[in-house]
Amino acid sequence: MNQKSTIVPELKERQRWMRVLAMAPVTALEDAWQALDDRPDYTLLRAPEVGSAMVRARAGGSGGQFNMGEMTVTRCVVRLSNGTAGHAYVAGRDKRKTELAAAFDAILQGEDRRIELLPSLIVPLENKQQTHRHIRAQKVQATRVNFFTMVRGDNQR
Amino acid sequence: MYVAVKGGEQAIDNAHKLLAEDRRGNPEHPELTLEQISEQMAYAVDRVMTEGSLYDRELAALAIKQARGDLVEAIFLLRAYRTTLPRLAVTEAIKTGEMAVERRISATYKDLPGGQILGPTFDYTHRLLDFKLAAEGEAPAPAERVDSAPDATMPRVSDFLNNEDLIELELPDSDETEVPDLTRAPLDFPADRATRLQNLARGDEGFLMALGYSTQRGYGRTHPFAGEIRMGAVAVEVVPEELGFAIQIGEITVTECEMVNQFKGSATSLPQFTRGYGLGFGHCERKTMAMALVDRSLRAQELGEDADAPAQDPEFVLYHSDNVEASGFVQHLKLPHYVDFQSELETVRTLRSEQMATLTKKAAE
């Protein structure tokens, strides 16, 4: 299960775009898809399917695992005419978004398209996601507080 | 025991039509959208997701709308929907230590790496009704922003105590594949901690809060401190079999509470703090604090403490924490019990006439 020790650079790259695609709004993926000049044909190896994922957590944050509850998830697998399979598992119930994420995953595995699509699609989406996170973090940081302990019975004279 | 009845279809149909009309309310007022509920009734959505045991803001908002704001009914609706979903994956354990923190407070340390971060909170508000909110259309002042970057790491309070060996360690189990799941197998006793935590995570907030409160008032006291409460977004990863590597499917917001509790030690171990844990979907601080109190109380036996208070009794707590089950059994009392009641009527009449006869006989003597 744990592949972390054997992660190769290409795999890390793929994990990165799969993450960015999963976190992107469907409208952004739809616009990008429509804007592709040569949209490839693909077949659905596994049509978009909505289901659940059981979320695991750890007692005390670091201890034994327990099942905390489920979340909705949608999965899809597509295949391009050249045989490349694209996969997507996306939180939520958006079938169209998941299908587009799988299609882009397939396309991005081809080196030619990757050179074009990484800077034109993935990087801008990732930047947007980071900006959003950054603004939120700035607002949260404004609520950082320093408490001063009042010594009981310490009357000033 | 209730019995099946026939008939009444028309009346039932009409009752549901009346419910639908009442749910909509006065049509002169605009209808609520799911976005409005999700954005402006966010904590109601969080509670329904936590106790409905399904993270999906839109579905929880729909359940709240359908239930006319009755959150326990909404939780029931979400649970019922949950059973229709095929299980596509089990996630990797979420890493709350790597949370994008939106709130993080400790009642045990004033100064700690990462700082005390209040985030969006009701704490320190005056609890006075704000009539400005009654007037529509006024946008709130924008939240302040500061440019200082958050501390890169936000270690857990329990880690500081760990460094001095002052608190018990929470270590992963050796076998991580066999995690009990209450959605697959019914509750059985003795219940291990993983089962208890799953039960408490979806348990009724009111029930757990009352139990937690009872421990504070002396019924199974555990001397707790809120070591740390943190809320924020965590990444969720799954390892699909067909891929064999981890992919991030999204983020969820969770609230986590770690209680630090006293423990007197034993003949073989030095005194050490013990831990209670609470975790829930969304922002649900009260729930996770109560959960952490009850989690710790349920460890009484394991820690060699007297276990005579309700909050320390696993069967009492775990069998009664689920508000879908509880609501079902309490509310079934309104279903037709005509046959049962007829037989009880007969019994009471017989008992009364027998006793009357005895009394009359005695009086005559």
Q: Which of B48, B83, B91 has the highest number of chain A CBs within 10 A, making it the mutation to test binding with A?
A: B91
Q: Which of B247, B298, B324 has the highest number of chain A CBs within 10 A, making it the mutation to test binding with A?
A: B247
* Residue in A64, A72, A144 closest to B172 by CB: A64
Percentage of residues in chain B having pLDDT higher than 70: 98
Residues 41-70 of A with CB under 8 A from B: 49-70
| Mean of pLDDT values over B254-282 | 89
The confidence band for A155, taking pLDDT boundaries of 50, 70 and 90, is low
The confidence band for B169, taking pLDDT boundaries of 50, 70 and 90, is confident
**What pLDDT digit, counting tens, does each position of A38-60 carry?**
899 999 999 999 999 999 999 99
Q: Which of A62, A74, A87 has the highest number of chain B CBs within 10 A, making it the mutation to test binding with B?
A: A62
The confidence band for A152, taking pLDDT boundaries of 50, 70 and 90, is low
Residues 221-260 of B with CB under 8 A from A: 235-236, 238-240, 242-252, 254, 256, 258
How do B87-90 and A144-145 pair as beta strands? unpaired
* Residue in A77, A87, A143 closest to B117 by CB: A143
pLDDT at A7: 57
Taking the domains of chain A in order of start, what are their residue ranges? 7-141
Q: A99-113, B42-56, B78-92, B136-150: lowest mean pLDDT where?
A: B136-150
Q: In chain B, which residues have their Cβ closer than 8 Å to the Cβ of A146? A: 111, 115-116
Verify whether the Cβ–Cβ distance B88 to A62 is below 8 Å.
no
pLDDT at A3: 45
Q: Which structure tokens are listed for B264?
A: 């007197």
Task: Please tell me which of B9-13, B28-32, B259-263 the model is most confident about, judged by mean pLDDT.
Answer: B28-32
Query: Burial letters for A14-37: b for 16+ Cβ neighbours within 10 Å, e otherwise?
Result: bbebbbbbbbbebebbeebbeebe
Distance CA A47, CA A75 (A): 8
Distance from CA of B83 to the nearest CA of A (A): 10
Contacts of B42 (CB under 8 A, 6+ apart): B282, B283
Nearest one of A118, A106, A120, A86 to A13, comparing CA atoms: A118
ipTM of the complex: 0.92
pLDDT at A121: 96
Distance from CA of A139 to the nearest CA of B (A): 4
Find the residue in B nearest to A145 (Cα): B116
Average model confidence (pLDDT) across chain B: 92
| Mean of pLDDT values over B117-145 | 88
Which residues are paired to B275 by β-bridges?
B260
Q: Is B85 on the interface with A (CB under 8 A)?
A: yes
Q: In chain B, which residues have their Cβ closer than 8 Å to the Cβ of A69? A: 49-50, 53-55, 198, 201-202, 281
Q: Is A157 exposed, middle or buried (0-12, 13-18, 19+ CB in 10 A)?
A: exposed
Q: Is B59 exposed, middle or buried (0-12, 13-18, 19+ CB in 10 A)?
A: buried
Verify whether the Cβ–Cβ distance A91 to B250 is below 8 Å.
yes
pLDDT at A8: 64
Instruction: Judge whether residue B153 has pLDDT over 90.
Output: no
* Residue in B85, B245, B258 closest to A72 by CB: B85
Report helix, strand or coil for B338: helix
pLDDT at B129: 92
Sign for the CA dihedral angle at A98, A102, A103, A107 comes to positive
pLDDT at A157: 45
Q: Which structure tokens are listed for A104?
A: 């882009």
| Mean of pLDDT values over A134-147 | 90
Nearest one of A146, A113, A126 to A24, comparing CA atoms: A126
In degrees and rounded to multiples of 5, residue A49 shows phi and psi of -130, 130
For chain A, give the secondary structure using H, E and C: CCCHHHCCHHHHHHHHHHHHHHHCCHHHHHHHHHHCCCCCCEEEEEEEEEEEEEEEEEHHHCCCEEEEEEEEEEEEEEEECCCCEEEEEEECCCHHHHHHHHHHHHHHCCHHHHHHHHHHHHHHHHHHHHHHHHHHHHHHHCCEECCCCCCCCCCCC
Distance CA B104, CA B102 (A): 7
| Mean of pLDDT values over A104-124 | 94
Instruction: Judge whether residue B242 has pLDDT over 90.
Output: yes
Which residues are paired to A55 by β-bridges?
A69
Verify whether the Cβ–Cβ distance A19 to B248 is below 8 Å.
yes
Give the gyration radius of chain B's Cα atoms. Answer: 26
How do A144-145 and B54-55 pair as beta strands? unpaired
| Mean of pLDDT values over B161-175 | 84
Q: Residues B240, B247: contact at Cβ < 8 Å?
A: yes
| Mean of pLDDT values over B299-324 | 94
Q: Which helix (H) or strand (E) is B151 found in, with range?
A: none
Angle subtended at Cα B326 by Cα B321 and Cα B328, rounded to the nearest 5 degrees = 150
Distance from CA of A87 to the nearest CA of B (A): 8
Q: Residues B93, B179: contact at Cβ < 8 Å?
A: no
pTM over 0.95: no
Angle subtended at Cα A154 by Cα A150 and Cα A156, rounded to the nearest 5 degrees = 110
Distance from CA of B62 to the nearest CA of A (A): 14
Q: B226-240, B263-277, B280-294: lowest mean pLDDT where?
A: B263-277
Distance CA B251, CA B307 (A): 39
User: Which residue type, as a one-letter code, is found at position A153?
Assistant: G
Verify whether the Cβ–Cβ distance B88 to A49 is below 8 Å.
yes
Distance from CA of A126 to the nearest CA of B (A): 13
Report helix, strand or coil for B193: helix
pLDDT at B47: 98
* Residue in A3, A58, A90 closest to B249 by CB: A90
Q: In chain B, which residues have their Cβ closer than 8 Å to the Cβ of A135? A: 145
Find the residue in A nearest to B147 (Cα): A138
| Mean of pLDDT values over B306-319 | 96
Residues 128-167 of B with CB under 8 A from A: 143-150, 156, 158
pLDDT at A48: 98
